[in-house]
Amino acid sequence: MSGRIALLVAGLLVAALPAAVRAETCATTETHHAVSLSGEVAGAHQFSADLGHGWTFVLSPARAGWDIEVRDDTGYNLALATMPLHGDTNPRMLYGWHFRNLANTGPNEGDVNAPQLERRFALNDPREGAFRGAGLGWLDVQDYGLADLNPGQRARMVYLRFEACVLIPKTEEEQVQDAELASPDYLPEEIEMIRTCGLDAAWRPEAWVMPRMLGGDFDGDDALDIAVPVSRVSDGAHGFAVCRAGTWSHVFGPDGVPPGSDLTPAYFEQVEAWAASPRADVPDYYGDPGLPEGPGDVIIIERIEKSAYSIFWDGTGFRSHHHYTLIEP
């Protein structure tokens, strides 16, 4: 077989496939959330995964394999918009005979006009009052197994391993919020909130790194906390202010840093990026033992591809953790 190895045992074909090559990346954009997923399914079982934003990805069992569905919170299948609308060779249909020739004696070499390993599907809701725009998704078949391989039969797909991506349209409100967060200018209500929390007049909120504000539950008390980049009024030195539940303010930078690692005040002058992350989602850096268990989300600060630290709450106070440093020649 060209480009693949096939094993035929007792009427079941299992294909070992080369990895699919794709130009697109599964990345969030100004207009869409990107959700990547992978998995496997076999027999008459259904695969289901929550995509967030009220959408669910489903591989629904069909007679010859599975149908790709993306359901909204009402259960409507948005993937029905995938062209062509009629026939059983739609890209959202993962059927075994798509991969076999017309006589079912070998692999499909073009005599069956059906999509193969890469499946693209459109997502849209034509119903009146639908509030989201069009979405897009793709599924790459990584491995599959077929049954009913006798000549004259229609092969069934009985096993599937896949990787997929779904691009979910952002609502107008989400796009407005994203645009606001992309600005370095603090809104008057944000300044008031930061000052009310106790930020001393010796510091001014200044977005010397973006985004201008991070939100999370940094101390694990189920209340919203915020963090903002600040500069010291007297000399412009950089730091971060963390406001816990609108009440307690902490400033890290030239006047002090959380203990626990070799993080120094000078590092805040070199920070190029920062982010808030649930502790479980902090990147797994090579050779890094990782953060100790504890409550709350984490603030990650870094010099891009050079070094990174986390600032986290240990139950009694903020501490720091050194993830990695790359020594440049």
Q: Domain residue spans in the chain? A: 5-173, 184-325
pLDDT at 298: 96
pLDDT less than 70: residues of the chain: 1-12, 14-23, 128-133, 328-329
What whole-number distance in Å separates Cα of residue 97 and Cα of residue 107? 9
pLDDT at 23: 52
pLDDT at 6: 39
289 and 321 Cβ atoms separated by less than 8 Å: no
pLDDT at 171: 81
Encoding tokens for residue 190?
A: 């944000």
pLDDT at 8: 41
Encoding tokens for residue 200?
A: 């001393």
What whole-number distance in Å separates Cα of residue 151 and Cα of residue 101? 10
pLDDT at 125: 80
What whole-number distance in Å separates Cα of residue 239 and Cα of residue 192? 19
pLDDT at 143: 96
CB neighbour list of residue 172: distance below 8 Å, 6 or more residues apart: none
pLDDT at 159: 98
Angle (CA) 105 111 117, round 5°: 85
